[in-house]
Amino acid sequence: MLLNLYQKVTRFIDHDARTARYLFLIVAIGFGLFTFFGDNKPLQGPIEHEWINAFDSIVSFILFLLLLLCNPCKKYFQEFGYLLIYILNIGNVYLLYATGFDIQYSYQFIVVYVISGWFFRSELAFVFFFTSINTALILSLLVASSTTPPTFDFYATYVVAAVAQVVLIRYRFNVEHMLTESEKKYRLLAQNSFDLICVHDADGSLEFVSPSVKRLLGYEPDELIGHKPYEIVHEADKHIIRSLVLTGKNHPSIQHPIQYRLKHKDGSYVWIETIFTPLDSPDGKTNVVLSQTRDIRRSKGYQIQLEERTKELERSNADLETFAFVSSHDMQEPLRMIANYMQLLKRKYAGKLDKEAEEYIDFASNGAITLQQLLRDLLSYSRITRADIKQEKVNVNQLMKEVLRNIQLEIKERNAEITIGELYSVVSDKNLLMLVLQNLTLNGLKYNHSKTPEVEVTCTTMATGFEFCVADNGIGIKPEHQKRIFEPFHRLHTKAEIPGTGLGLSICKKIVERLGGTIRLESEYGVGSKFYFTLPK
């Protein structure tokens, strides 16, 4: 923090001729007052005390006028400051000699000498200042030794101050050297970066533009410095730039990439992506912003193609869903009629047809019934995608009781044991959640060769939601089939072995995903399976 404060102070003094001008005026007024109203003690030597103050005041005022009236002189404000420092310190050395190292002027010299050293910006300038002022002091000590020698306190204070000054300034120069090297590296990166790097002032105008702008937009850096990028933004994208708020580091538009188009020098427009980052400005108040920009024409082209294909895919999926819904719905009645007439045919001609004809009738009847079930499942699958999701608080414990009532015949037939743990209430669609729990429970009974099938339904809470588990002691699933078990119509057994359409788990997966969750499987072949599905809180 202290180093940052020091950098701001030195920048404020060294890099602002107007500030230096005001400092010279203040010094001129101060020494002018000392000339007429100060405690001007009698001196031993050819120059009177008031004349030293008057000389310092006149020199300061002349330097002030040069910086005020002479434009070419403004760039030498630092050299003018060095000149005034030498004049003040040499004047203080003379005051030490001429007052016989009076205690007041001794400590005045030490204070001014130590402070003056901090204004030198190079090691060579400081060494020259240190050598020249200390040489003048030593000469004055030799000459003054015949009169009143300085006290031990002066020697001790001066030596400690001089050593501390050298150590601290040496440390400062090392820090500044590292900062300079770091700045060179960053400038080297900025000038050779493939991306476009810019620095904007508080008004948004460009203060620095990296040479990569030539490759990206065709401009030379000097053509854009002093201008606002807003001038070459595509008309349709100017609202994006207007919405930016770069005055607060925590604003959402800060360090968030935005995409828009800039006008190339040849008149075309280029898709770019920019990130804006606020920087600490020298005065601590001005909003200086760094922008990093890259060419996204290729990725933008891919994005547009992807969006178009996604829309086509969505239209195609919608058409397929509509087709599945309409076809499965409209085919229900013809199939029902076929199945009914096949049953009537079987009853009417029972015992009148040969065995082969009766088998044909059974095949046709069973096929119609199977196709009816398949169409019902397909209709349910398509309805899940099209149905509106209802959000209501669901008591899952009560819901499982309804599930058990729905499948009580299957439970009695298989002599099954259903265990229900403490299930958390959720906010979800009650009917769809019931369908998932019912399908998974029935799967545990259907794919089970145990004399007493067991199914356990439990629930655990997580940071983002709830995880339900339906575990059984069934036949399990081999590892090579576990990844495809949720695919539509994917069957692991023949219909003769275990009847079904192959859509049950696909329907469960579709429902869980629509409810905002995920479903997964853990299974050991011959031991049992565990189906886990999550619901958000």
pLDDT of amino acid 327: 60
* pLDDT tens, position by position, 102-134: 888 888 888 888 888 888 888 888 889 888 888
Residue 396 placed within a domain:
yes
302 found inside a domain: no
For the chain, what is the domain count? Answer: 4
Where is the domain boundary, 361, 385, 409? 385
Indicate whether 351 pLDDT > 50: yes
pLDDT of residue 340: 78
Choice between 284 and 410, residue whose per-residue pLDDT is larger: 410
Q: Which helix (H) or strand (E) holds 279?
A: strand 269-279
Least confident of 13-27, 210-224, 444-458: 13-27
Q: Where do runs of H (alpha helix) occur along 99-236?
A: 103-117, 123-144, 152-192, 213-217, 221-224
Q: Is residue 305 part of a domain?
A: no
Domain boundary among 385, 413, 446: 385
Mean pLDDT of 304-323: 77
Q: Same domain for 335 and 377?
A: yes
Identify whether residues 107 and 6 lie together within a single domain. yes
pLDDT at 494: 47
Mean pLDDT value of segment 503-519: 86
Q: Tell me, yes or no, whether 253 lies in a domain.
A: yes
Inform me whether the pLDDT recorded for 500 exceeds 60.
no
Look up the CATH number of the domain holding residue 500: 3.30.565.10
Give yes or no: residues 350 and 420 share one domain.
no
Query: According to the model, what pLDDT value does residue 387 have?
Result: 66
- Which one of 186, 215, 248 terminates a domain? 186
Tokens encoding 150:
């300085």
Q: Supply the range of the domain harboring residue 289.
A: 193-295
44 with 131, same domain: the answer is yes
Are 83 and 157 in a shared domain? yes
Q: Where are the beta strands (DSSP E) in 355-477?
A: 392-394, 417-420, 426-428, 454-461, 465-472
Query: pLDDT at position 3, please?
Result: 40
Residue 81's pLDDT band, with cuts at 50, 70 and 90, is confident
Residue at 304 is within a domain: no
What pLDDT, in 10s, does the model give residues 405-435?
Answer: 888 888 888 888 999 988 989 999 888 888 8
Q: What is the pLDDT of residue 533?
A: 93
12, 152: one domain: yes
Alpha carbons 379 and 384: distance in angstroms, whole number? 9
**Could you tell me the pLDDT band of residue 4, with boundaries at 50, 70 and 90?**
very low
303 is a domain residue: no
pLDDT of residue 370: 67
Helix or strand (DSSP H, E) at 278:
strand 269-279
CA distances in angstroms from 279 to 147, 282, 285, 317, listed in the order given: 59, 10, 10, 49
* 182 shares a domain with 52: yes
Distance CA 260, CA 205 (A): 18
Q: Would 301 be classed as within a structural domain?
A: no
166-195 pLDDT, tens digit each: 888 888 888 888 888 877 777 777 667 788
Q: Are residues 408 and 502 in the same domain?
A: yes
- Out of 142-146, 181-185, 519-523, pick the least confident: 142-146
Look at 106 and 250; give whichever has higher pLDDT.
106
Q: What is the mean pLDDT of residues 309-330?
A: 70
CATH number at residue 198: 3.30.450.20
pLDDT confidence bin for 262, thresholds 50/70/90: very high
What does the pLDDT read at residue 263?
Answer: 92
Same domain, yes or no, for 48 and 162?
yes
Q: What is the reported pLDDT for 376?
A: 65
Cβ contact 216:198 at 8 Å: no
**Does 474 have pLDDT greater than 90?**
no
pLDDT band at 58 (very low <50, low <70, confident <90, very high): very high
Same domain, 26 and 82: yes
Residues 423, 504 within the same domain = yes
Note the pLDDT of residue 397: 92
Average pLDDT score over the chain: 80
In a domain, 142, yes or no: yes
Residues 359 and 484 occupy one common structural domain:
no
Segment 483-490 mean pLDDT: 70
463 has pLDDT over 70: yes
